[in-house]
Homo-oligomer: A and B are copies of this chain.
Amino acid sequence: MSMDFAPPKYAQVMRAIQERIESGEYAPGDMLPSETQLVRELGVGRTTVVRALQTLAMQGWIEREHGRGSFVKGRPESGADRVRPSLTATEQGESAESLVEVARVSAPRYVAKLLGVAERTPVIMRRRVAREGGLPSAVETVWVPLEIAVGSDLDKPEPLRSGIRRHLQAVKHLRFDHITERVTARKPTKEEVELLGSSNPVLGVLATVHDPAGTVLLAMSLALPGTLHELEDVYKVS
């Protein structure tokens, strides 16, 4: 019998309550069983129950009111459904039709700034056109320092079927940790107009991808036609 590692009890209590909320057994607005009831029902100490409940409250599943009880709020939204255009850009696989250009170029000023290298340093540029329903829906240009690209297939003109992120992870063990994005509205460049087939204003996204140490792994510039794209975000107001 290979006694699998049991998760800590407070986590088990959290899971139990989360499941009851998701199954609808505890509906939003309902009062949860009191701490003492849960203690009896689940056969754990109050410390454990309290820790579970307080963690759930911090995560937004429930709300606790001193002297009244704990009340169900529902699965937290976590605002995590924000659209992350630059993340998907690094995760999408490339195809022969979508890949427009792969070249070794000297970094333009704004790219050098993003990558933290000197202007005109040689870098790898990959440009592709994303399509939706057959129509071009975005131009995505990725800029990679040579140190990062060396030993990978990023500098080769063949499409990366598995996407940039997965490729760098597999071949060079590079881990993406966080992304910083700056969004603005601008007119599309000449190339973008050609590739998109429209000169409507675009959302211009400049992004940098960082590893856990904060080092910039690569930079990105996206052009998303405003007529096709909306970036949605939900956030709490203190």
Contacts and interface: CB of A to CB of B under 8 A. Distances in A.
Interface of A: 58, 82, 84, 87, 176-187, 200-204, 209, 224-227, 229-237
Contacts of A183: 183, 203, 230-233
B237 A176 contact: yes
B237 A178 contact: yes
Given A58-B58, A84-B235, A235-B84, A226 B184 contact: yes
Contacts of A229: 184-185
* Copies of this chain in the oligomer: 2
29 contacts: A58-B58, A82-B235, A84-B235, A177-B237, A178-B237, A179-B234, A179-B237, A181-B232, A181-B233, A182-B230, A182-B233, A183-B231, A184-B203, A184-B229, A184-B231, A185-B186, A185-B201, A185-B202, A185-B203, A185-B226, A186-B201, A186-B226, A186-B227, A187-B200, A201-B201, A201-B226, A203-B203, A204-B226, A209-B237
A178 B237 CA distance: 5
Given A178-B235, A183-B233, A201-B226, 7 more contacts: A82-B233, A181-B232, A181-B235, A183-B231, A185-B201, A185-B202, A187-B201
A237 B218 CA distance: 14
Contacts of A185: 185-186, 200-204, 224-226, 229
What DSSP secondary structure best describes chain A's contact surface?
strand
Given A201-B201, A226-B201, A226-B204, A236 B178 contact: yes
Contacts of A177: 236-237
Across the A-B interface, the 5 shortest Cβ-Cβ residue pairs:
A185-B226, A201-B201, A185-B185, A185-B201, A185-B203
Contacts of A237: 87, 176-179, 209
Interface centre among A84, A176, A181, A200 (most CB of B within 10 A): A181
A200 B226 CA distance: 13
